[in-house]
């Protein structure tokens, strides 16, 4: 049985916070895979479902972030779920917005939800880290993660949540690396970064070099 935990804070005032990306992912998984209606158990909202026949308990702790471990450890003990079958989805300020990493074990990197879970059940559980960016100053992080995403962030949040939900069954079989690769493929458009400089020796399309007589002659010669 897989225990899949999305981290966040309860209440409508926190629903769009960067800190709540774990809750957003849990909701996307719940909707995509037709899990049972949410119910209250283990001081959490929980829902049961299956991935390719394998049972999964989806959880959104309602203890507030700093006490998430109380809820996660209670569910893991009740169902006798080993730490290797616990996957925690959380925000990560040390990754750029939209970047993801799968990791098993390790430190909490200052994340209070992870600190609480580690204190309650050790640090060998698996984590899906979702980058939300960094405000630039360490002391600004608490205020930053407790504020809403910008409207422009929907451009990467929606496709990423869709990809997480679609490929989540891979985690049941322990195919964490394949899962991570699928997320990367689904969220990489191949488009140039806005404001990026062109490669050396290549003028940006639409510039005078692109429209000069030599360029036009070459296009005619090459059939472009």
Q: Parse the chain into domains and list their residue ranges.
A: 2-187, 196-224
CA-to-CA distance for 6 and 128, rounded, in angstroms? 9
Q: What pLDDT was estimated at residue 217?
A: 52
* Sheet-wide strand order for 126-131: 39-41, 44-51, 54-61, 2-6, 86-92, 126-131, 100-104
> 58: part of which helix (H) or strand (E)?
strand 54-61
> Rounded to a whole number, what is the distance in angstroms from the first to the last CA of the chain?
57
Which pairing describes strands 100-104 and 126-131: parallel, antiparallel, or unpaired?
antiparallel
Residues in the chain, pLDDT under 70: 189-224
Q: What phi and psi, each to the nearest 5 degrees, are found at residue 104? A: -115, 125
Q: List the catalytic residue out of 14, 19, 147, 184.
A: 19
- Residue 122: other Cβ atoms inside 10 A: 11
Q: Enter the pTM of the model.
A: 0.83
Q: What CATH class is the domain 2-187?
A: alpha beta
Q: What pLDDT was estimated at residue 209?
A: 40
CA-to-CA distance for 144 and 157, rounded, in angstroms? 17
Q: What pLDDT was estimated at residue 188?
A: 78
Query: Residue 19 catalytic?
Result: yes
Q: What pLDDT was estimated at residue 213?
A: 53
């Amino acid at each position: 049985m897989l225990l899949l935990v999305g981290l966040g804070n309860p209440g409508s005032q926190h629903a769009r916070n960067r800190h709540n990306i774990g809750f957003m992912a849990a909701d996307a998984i719940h909707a995509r895979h037709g899990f049972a209606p949410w119910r209250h158990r283990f001081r959490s909202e929980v829902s049961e479902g299956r991935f390719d026949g394998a049972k999964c308990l989806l959880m959104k702790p309602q203890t507030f972030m700093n006490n998430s471990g109380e809820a996660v450890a209670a569910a893991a003990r009740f169902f006798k779920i080993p730490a290797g079958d616990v996957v925690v989805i959380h925000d990560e300020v040390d990754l750029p917005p939209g970047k993801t990493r799968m990791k098993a074990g390790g430190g909490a990197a200052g994340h209070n939800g992870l600190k609480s879970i580690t204190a309650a059940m050790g640090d060998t559980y698996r984590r899906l880290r979702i980058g939300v960016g960094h405000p630039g100053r360490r002391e600004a992080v608490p205020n930053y993660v407790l504020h809403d995403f910008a409207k422009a962030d929907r451009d990467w949040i929606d496709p990423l949540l869709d990809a997480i939900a679609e490929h989540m069954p891979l985690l049941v079989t322990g195919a964490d690396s394949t899962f991570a690769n699928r997320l990367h493929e689904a969220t990489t458009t191949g488009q140039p970064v806005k404001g990026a400089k062109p490669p050396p020796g290549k003028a940006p399309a639409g510039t005078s070099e692109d429209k000069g007589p030599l360029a036009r002659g070459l296009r005619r010669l090459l059939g472009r």
